[in-house]
Amino acid sequence: MNERGFAQLGRFPFVYDARCLAIPQLRAICENALFFMKKFIIIFLLFTHIIILAKPCSIERWDIKTLQDDISKINFNPVSIGFNEFYLLDTLKHLGKNQKRLKCEMQAYKINVKLIEWKIEKDSDFHLVCKSIYGDSTFIAEIPLPECANPLFSEQFKTCRDLIKSLKYKKKGKLNILTDDITLEITGILFHDFVHCQTGHAPNGIELHPVVQIKIIAD
């Protein structure tokens, strides 16, 4: 092959055709190129498969949200609370991204709500928009993905998520809008989130996160 022919073949380093077979001195080069190309494709497909199967978890105060911090001081016996009391809890203006569990976050609460809508967040949490049964006040409750949370609570999180998925809803983009007027009793650990533009957030940024139990209340 002349110099021009080598240059043209160099433009297509992974082509394995009659030129490789016809020219003995190129056969080894082409076979090596094909071998490494196959290895690259296999590694790429395996890496892509792992990425797809991987369940994304979050970062900001994630150990608090998923009960993977020191939970020995949390009172898991829930205190009943109403929306008015919920809204009167203090707003924290200087909450660090790595803030340890606050004293007020060491208590479980339960509250009766109307579930308006829910969606799956990027961190795989179920994001619930909960509305007062007496008015238009709302707050957010979240159920972690069991694989991203404290394994001691995996079954509880799975049960809560399964119950939410069993409710009747219609899809609107990423949102699941409830079609039945159902009252739920939601139990979860108080959590101070950053006040940001989330649909349904409480004015003080307080959530129930994580939710550990959900019951359907007969009207």
Q: How many residues does the chain have?
A: 219
**Structure confidence by residue, pLDDT tens digits, 114-132:** 999 999 998 999 999 999 9
Question: How far, in Å, CA of 192 to CA of 100, rounded?
Answer: 11
Own/partner long-range contacts of 156-165 (Cβ < 8 Å, ≥24 apart): 156/212, 156/213, 157/210, 157/211, 157/212, 159/213, 159/214, 160/126, 160/211, 160/212, 160/213, 160/214, 161/126, 163/214, 163/216, 164/115, 164/118, 164/126, 164/128, 164/214
The pair of three-digit structure tokens given for residue 72, joined into one six-digit string: 């020995």
Nearest C-alpha neighbor of 190 from the set 72, 40, 87, 56 = 87
Strands (E) in 144-201, as ranges, are 169-172, 175-178, 183-192
**Structure confidence by residue, pLDDT tens digits, 168-181:** 999 999 999 999 88
For residue 8, the model assigns a pLDDT of 45
For residue 203, the model assigns a pLDDT of 86
The pair of three-digit structure tokens given for residue 178, joined into one six-digit string: 């409830």
For residue 217, the model assigns a pLDDT of 93
- The residue extents of the domains of the chain are 3-53, 62-217
Which class is 62-217 in CATH? Answer: mainly beta
Average pLDDT over residues 143-162: 97
pLDDT confidence band for 20 (50 / 70 / 90) = low
Give the DSSP H/E element, type plus range, for residue 140.
Answer: strand 138-143
Q: Give the angle 7-12-17 at the CA atoms, nearest 5°.
A: 105
Average pLDDT over residues 2-12: 44
Please compute Rg for the chain using Cα positions. 27
**Structure confidence by residue, pLDDT tens digits, 43-92:** 655 544 444 344 568 778 899 999 999 999 999 999 999 998 988 887 77
**β-pair type (138-143, 206-217):** parallel
Alpha carbon separation from 216 to 45, 176, 187 (Å, rounded):
44, 18, 12
Most confident of the following: 23-37, 91-105, 133-147, 183-197: 133-147
Question: How far, in Å, CA of 148 to CA of 124, rounded?
Answer: 9
What is the pTM assigned to this prediction? Answer: 0.73
Helices then strands, each counted (H, E), the chain: 6, 8
Report the share of the chain in percent with pLDDT over 90.
55
Widest pairwise Cα distance in the chain: 87
